[in-house]
Structures are given as structure tokens and as C-alpha cells.
Structure 1
Amino acid sequence: MKDIGVLIKEQLGNLGIMFRISKYQDMSDYQSHYLGLVWEYLYPLIQIGIYWLVFGIGLKKGTSTGVDYLTWMVIGITPWFYMNSVTNQASKSIYQQVGMVSKMKFPVSVLPTIKLISNLSSFWTMLAFSIVIAYFRGGLMPTIYWLQWFYYFFAMIMWLVAFGIFNSTITVLIRDYRIFLQSVMRVLFYMSGVLFNFETNAFPAPFARILQLNPFFYVISGFRDSMFSQYWFWQRPILTIVFWLMVLFFLLVGSHLHYKFRARFVDLI
């Protein structure tokens, strides 16, 4: 628990640095492009457009909740794109910044969190566009259930911080882990409820219950529950407890390994 306290202190104490580095990284990534930072907003719109064409026009489906399939899908795919991008980028954040780690005194634990911040602009763009689609296609209107969106956003951030510090440390210790993680994330795309509703009679109940233990599924279904006014998060106590236990587990293990091996990161890389 001491390691978690140090980790949280470093995160909160370096918020200004993280936002500035995130801003400069975004600018450097797109400085040679004609449209520059416009791509930060254009890319997620292109992604949503592709899925609109494939699933909204190419496939005419619905969900068991009676919600238009495209509306249901884009609300869920928005947090998935964000979590997938942050997870993959955070996993190699320490490995890629070996120069910064070796040449200056720097709180290395904030490197995964910087990736979390730098992807927020794309997340907000996709979320806004998804809500617009939901309004015009399904007549989505704000309800009191939307308030729990803040809870699920906080839960998503905490999961990414915990998973990020774990993955970034393991990637330094085990070089093949990053490739393994990318493969796992590809599988989780289909097993996190992004494209298919596992809470229907079409899937065996034991299979569905196992998939619901996936933290990515918890966040994705939570965003949908908030937007489509189905459940409050406390109405799923078992899934909520399991989710936060997994966050605590990765936070404990990740922070412990990070501070145990941090002095050797340069040698290991």
C-alpha cells in the first residue's frame, strides 16, 4: 500500500508536467503533417464513419434492449478505442523514453499517465460524435442516469492508470510482453461487448457471466447503461466489486514492481 501512496503522490504532484508533455508530444507527432493537430479530431471521426457504413448501413441489426444497433455500437466503441489506444501506448511509454529516464531526474511513473492524457482529445471527439448519432438515429435524450457517466469515466481512468503502470513495467522486464499484450487486446475487442451484446439469450449464461468479469466490458457496458437509462452502477454489485478488486490488484502489483525495479530500468532497457 505504501507503493500506491507514492504512485498517487507522483501522479497528482506532476499533473502540470504531464499536461505540458502531452501537449508537446501531440504537436511533435503531427508537426510534419499539413493538417497538424486536426488529425487528432479527424481520425476518430473517420473511425466512427467506417463503422457507420459497415454496421449502420451494411448490417441492419438491433439489440435486445430495443436500441438501434448503430447507436448501441458507437456508444460502446468510443471508450473501447480510447482504452485500447491508451493501453498499447502506455505499455511502451517507459521503454520508448529511455533517454529521458537516463539523463534527468524524472518521475517515470507519470509516463503511462501522459499517454492517457494525450488521447483524451480523441475520446471527447468520438463521444460527442457518438451522442450526435444517437440523437438523430435513436432520439437519445439526456436523463438522470447520465449522471453516473462521471462514475464510469472515473472508473475507466483508474483502470487505465493501474493497468498502465503494470504493463509499462512488465514491458521493461519482459521484452516480449508488449507483443503478447497487443494480441490480447485484439481478442478483447471481440470479447468485451463492443460489437455483440453478451447479455442476451443468444449466448450461454455461464459464458456471458465469465465475459462480464472483464474490466473493459464493465466500462463499456457502464457507458451504455448511463446513456440508455438501464441501470445504476450499484445495481450490479458483484461486477462493481470485481472491477475495483482488479483495479486494486494491478495497482498493487504494478506499483510494487515499478518501484522495485525503477533504479534498474536503464540497464534493463
Structure 2
Amino acid sequence: MKDIWKIFKELVKSWPVVQRIARYNNDQVYRQNYLGDFWHFADPALQIGVMILMFAVRGGGDKSNPHATGLAGYIAWIALGMVTYFFMQSAMQKSAKSIQSQINMLSRMKFSLSAIPMTEIVTELRRYFVMLGMAFFALLFVNVKPSIYWLQFFYYFFAMIIFLYTLSLVTSTVTVLVPDFYNAYVAVLRVSMWVSGVIIPVDSPSFPVLLSNILKINPLYYIIQGFRETLMERPIWFWHNITANMVFWGIVIILLIIGAHIHMRFRNRFMDFV
């Protein structure tokens, strides 16, 4: 608990600097390009468009998906899932290498190493909100109207950020200690889209029950499904699924304990490993 408390105190104290670094990162990415930020959103928008053509248009009438009605519903379902997934994938990948790539520069500043992974997560938020706006536009085609359930968005957004940060404490530390870990981690992230319910509804009646229950343990599935159950048709309050909540927050707590412990134990030696 001592390590966890220290980590959160450092994060709160470093928050203004985290925001400035994130803003700087966003400004520098495509500074030399004429179209600037357009390229920041073009890649995920193109991938989402391709996935919609490959899966939504082809399977728009597939009744095995209990969460989407017709082609328009299928498009909105996939768009919302992919926007959330692309943000998490990019944040997980960049935050895992954040300490290794930035420690030489930030070690000269009065900046807590535990806050470095958060800078990458916050950097990705601008693109996420723009892409989320596109997903909301897709929801208009499903005639989804705002409701009190939409307040639940803030719960799942908070859960997503906390999960990403606790995971990044583990992965960013292990990447410094064992460089080969990062390559394996990126490979796993490429596969995770297919097992997180982004494209395939893992809770459809035609899906094997045992495999479905195993895949639902995935925190990415919990968050993606949570956003869908909040913003789309037939919304559900998050507290109705007590088991899923306990599993997700149990995983987050375990990651936080492990991440805080190994980060505090090894961070004074990060420069030696790098």
C-alpha cells in the first residue's frame, strides 16, 4: 500500500507536466506535414472503414449478434468497439515503451518516472475523442437517443484510464528490465482485437459457452462491451453484472499492486538497464 500511495501522489503532483508533455507530443507528431493533424486520425479512420466494409456490410443482417439491429446497428456497433479498441491498443503499446524511450531526457527534469506512462495515454486522448465523435455520428443512423444511461460513459471512461495506467506500470517496467518482452507484448496486442469482442460478439447464442466465459474475463472486453451497453440500444446499468465488475476491478487491483511494487523496486536502476 505504501508503494501505491506514493505512486498516486507522484501522479497527482506531476499532472500539469503530464498535460504539457502530451500537448507537445501531439503538436510534434505531424508538424512537418501540410495536412498536420489529419494524418493523426486518417489511419484509424481508414481501418475502421475497412472493417465496416468487411464485416458490417457483409454481416449486417446476421441475427447472431444480440446487440445490433440491421445494417445500421451493425455499423454503429463495430465503429464504437473499434474506436475504443484502437485507443486502448495505441495507449498500451506506447506506454509500455515510454520509460525506456524517454528516461534519458526526463531523468534531467524534476519529473516522476511513474508519471511517464500516463503521458502517452493522455497523448492518445485527443485522437480518441475525435474518433469517438465519429462513432456518435454513426449512432445517429440507429436512431439512438440520449438517455440517463449515457452518464455511465464517465464510469467506463474512468475504468479504462485506470486499467491502462495500472497495466502500463507493469509493462513499462518489464520492458526496461527485459527488452524482448516488448516485441512479444506487441504481438499479443495485434491478436487481442479478435478475442476482445471488437468484431465478433463473443456472447452470441451461437458462440461456445465455455469459450465465451473465458473471453469475457478480458478487461478490454469489459470496457468495450460497457461502452456499447451504455450508448447503444437496450442500455444496461453497469452494476447489474456484479461478477464482471468484480473480475475487472480484481484484475486492476492485482496489476496496481504488482506494477507499483516492481516500479518502485527497480526505478533507481532504470538507467543501468537502459
The TM-score with structure 1 as length reference comes to 0.95
Structure 2 residue 79 is the aligned partner of structure 1 residue 74: yes
CA distances 1:136-164 after superposition (whole Å, capped 9, x unpaired):
2x112112211111100000010001001
Structure 2 residue 194 is the aligned partner of structure 1 residue 199: no
Deviates more, 1:218-227 or 1:1-10: 1-10
Cα distance in 1 between the residues matched to 2:61 and 2:198: 14
Secondary structure in 2 matching 1:260: helix
> In 1, are the aligned partners of 2:170 and 2:258 still within 8 Å (CA)?
yes
Structure 2 residue 90 is the aligned partner of structure 1 residue 85: yes
Which amino acid counterpart does residue 164 of structure 1 have in structure 2? S
Secondary structure in 1 matching 2:205: coil
Corresponding residue to 2:66 among 58, 64, 74: 64
Partner of 1:106: 111
Cα distance in 1 between the residues matched to 2:146 and 2:3: 41
> In 1, are the aligned partners of 2:149 and 2:237 still within 8 Å (CA)?
yes
Secondary structure in 2 matching 1:126: helix
> In 1, are the aligned partners of 2:156 and 2:226 still within 8 Å (CA)?
yes
Cα distance in 2 between the residues matched to 1:164 and 1:61: 39
Unpaired runs of 5+ residues, structure 2, are: none
How far 1:204 sits from its partner (Å)? Answer: 1.3
Cα distance in 1 between the residues matched to 2:18 and 2:118: 7
Partner of 2:157: 153
Cα distance in 2 between the residues matched to 1:264 and 1:241: 35
Which amino acid counterpart does residue 170 of structure 1 have in structure 2? V
CA distances 1:173-230 after superposition (whole Å, capped 9, x unpaired):
1111101111111221100000011111111111111111100000000000001233
Which amino acid counterpart does residue 205 of structure 2 have in structure 1? N
Kindly, what percent of the aligned residue pairs are identical?
Answer: 35
Structure 2 residue 46 is the aligned partner of structure 1 residue 46: yes
Cα distance in 2 between the residues matched to 1:91 and 1:103: 21
Cα distance in 2 between the residues matched to 1:131 and 1:31: 28
Unpaired runs of 5+ residues, structure 1, are: none
After TM superposition, list the pairs within 5 Å mapping 1:162-241 onto structure 2. 162-228=166-232, 229-241=234-246
Secondary structure in 1 matching 2:67: coil
How far 1:58 sits from its partner (Å)? Answer: 4.6
> In 1, are the aligned partners of 2:68 and 2:77 still within 8 Å (CA)?
no
Secondary structure in 2 matching 1:247: helix
Q: 4+ runs of 1 displaced by more than 6 Å?
A: none
Partner of 2:268: 263
Give the CA RMSD over aligned residues: 1.5
Partner of 1:121: 126
Secondary structure in 1 matching 2:131: helix
The TM-score with structure 2 as length reference comes to 0.93
> In 2, are the aligned partners of 1:101 and 1:266 still within 8 Å (CA)?
no
Partner of 1:31: 31
Secondary structure in 2 matching 1:119: helix
Aligned residues: 268
Cα distance in 2 between the residues matched to 1:244 and 1:33: 42
